[in-house]
Structure formats: C-alpha cells, structure tokens
Amino acid sequence: MQAFVIHQFGGPEVLQYQPLPVPELKPGEVLVKTAAAGINPIDWKTCSGGGASAFIGNLPFVPGWEFSGTIVNGNGTQWQAADPVFGMIRFPEPAGCYAEYIAVPADQIARVPDIVELEEAGGLATASLTAWQALFDKGELKSGQCVLVLGAAGGVGHLAVQLAKWAGAHVLGTASMHNHEFLGDLGVDRVIDYQHKRLPEHAKDVDLIIDCIGGETGIEALQCLKPDGRLVTLPSVTKDIVAEAGKAQNRYVEAIRVAPSAAQLEQIIGLYADDILHLQMSGSYRPDQLDEAFELSATGHVCGKLVLSFT
C-alpha cells in the first residue's frame, strides 16, 4: 500500500508518500480500505514536532486519526467485509490514517448509512466528537442555556453550533464578517464580528463557552460568563494560561482532549443522516496535494473541514 510517512519533524516538505506493508491485524482489530482521512490541525502540528508528538514514540510516523472506508477483513469481530465505516481512533497514540489501508480497533468505529457519502464521513469524526464532548460531557449543556462558540465557522465550531441548537440552546458565535451568513444559515442566533467588536460588550450572562481559539481570546471571553458558567477550552498549547486566568477570575475552566467513542459516533451519524447535522466541506485533496492542505490548515482560517481522498 501507499502511505504518508514522516522520518523527521518539520513542515509539509517532510511528508513522504511511500510504499509500506499492509498492516497485520491484532485481535479486536479490523482492516479498512481507506476512502478519506480528515485533515486536522493536530496532524500538521504533530508532524512539526508539536501537537501529539509526545505520544507517537520513535519516528517514522504515519499521521492521521480519523477516516472513512470499507471493511476488508472483519477478523472475527461484528464487522463484515464491505461494511462502510468511519471513526476517530487511538488518539493520541499513533493511528496511521493517512494510508490506503488501516488496522482499526473494532470498538472505536461506527457504520456509515448508505445515504451518507464516505468522503464526507471521512472528515466528520474528530470535529464532531470534540464538539459533542465539549458541549455535553465537559460543558454539561442543558436546553434553554446560552452557548458562545469562539471560532464558530471552523471545523469544530460549525458542528458545535449545530449540536447546541439541536439540544435547545441559544447560540452565539464569533466569526469574521464573511462567515456571518454561513453561520446564520446553520442557526446561530447572533454572530459577533471578532475583528471589530470587543467580545464582553456583545455577549453577557453566557452559561457555556466553547473556546476553539484559546490564548488571549479565550481569556477575554471569561468576562462573558455567568458567575456559575463554564468555559471549555480546546487548544492544548494555551490551555494552562486560560485555566490560570479562569482561576484568577473565579471562573470554571476545563480543557478537553477528545477521546474515541463509537456510541457517540452512532448518535452523530444518525443526526447527519437525518439532515439535522451538516458538515461544511472546505476542500478535498488528492495525495499529491497534501502539502497544500497542511499549509491552508495552518493559516487558521479554514471554514469547515478538509479531507484527504484516497478514491
């Protein structure tokens, strides 16, 4: 098979598309022929020596933690050959999803309904699980509460606003002006232009903040919370300073590291199949275009999701 491999940390230039053996299966694993792999900031951050690089062990390393594809070998599990599946697997340990074939834990994936395109499913798992776990596990969101999503047009953000609306929340979101119409179409009750407005003057008494930006933006947003509100911050590189600021202001702040969950994926793909949840696909890239996708992702201005297509 062909797979993307890095032999040293660095920018997109360190990615090599090269032959590797098809993975051998261990008990509880299935073999999947990859249709698409999601391209996430954690991928290029890890390849550059940040991100999850502390968890990947020795190089070489095959990036990628989310995928869609079809089962080739069910290996005695509940999965059968030709079953369409998707998932986010093993995170933050190496998962090797930037490859034509993947050895996948059978208990970390969900079936893709026939009406859902595999390429779309390839970009859904990581962002939707992050949004779900931030809102419902860490954020303990309840119907009728007010949610503020920082970076609402991004991969996680645009799914978080939809899930929050589905759960009965009043949703505010920050975005640049050119994404306001997009977020309005997704159901955001009020979009705030982060480039020209001071956030605490436009969002008050918020129950829950989903912080997809971090740093000074996350710290400033603490002023928007109710006294008993909470902020869930996603970017790992700034989580400590946001938490310290929250402590100083007597505000509840919690960081999140997304975890695989087949049960949550089943709920998410059900909402997707029922047309309640939508994934904004910002771009599908062939293997020879992956460096372009990494460069775009690194700008921090992607609206929706990028995927690497193997079909």
Average pLDDT over the chain, rounded to whole?
Answer: 95
Structure tokens at 91: 């995170």
Could you give the CA distance from residue 270 to residue 234 in angstroms, rounded to a whole number?
Answer: 25
Amino acid at 285: Y
On the question of pLDDT at 195 being above 80, the answer is no
Q: What percent of the chain clears pLDDT 90, i.e. is strictly above it? A: 92
pLDDT digits (tens, 9 = 90+) for 260-305: 999 999 999 999 999 999 999 989 999 999 999 999 999 888 888 9
Query: For the chain, percent helix, then strand, then coil, each to nearest 5?
Result: 35, 30, 40
Q: pLDDT value at position 302? A: 83
CA distance 288 to 175: 31
Core vs surface per residue 110-141: b (16+ CB within 10 A) or e: bbbeeebebbbbbbbbbbbbbbbbbbbbbbeb
Pick the closest to residue 8 from 64, 58, 65 (CA basis): 58
pLDDT of the residue at 194: 77
- Domains of the chain with CATH codes: 2-124+279-309 (3.90.180.10), 127-255 (3.40.50.720)
Distance CA 267, CA 224 (A): 31
The per-residue pLDDT for 161 is 98
Predicted local distance difference test score (pLDDT) of residue 304: 83
**CA–CA distance, 19 with 16 (Å, rounded to integer):** 10
DSSP 113: P
| Identity at 265, one-letter amino acid code | L
**Whole-structure pTM value:** 0.95
Nearest to 204 by CA among 222, 230, 218, 219: 222
Where are the strands (E) in 44-189, listed by range? 66-73, 84-88, 101-105, 109-111, 146-150, 170-175
Alpha-carbon distance of 229 to 140, in angstroms, equals 10
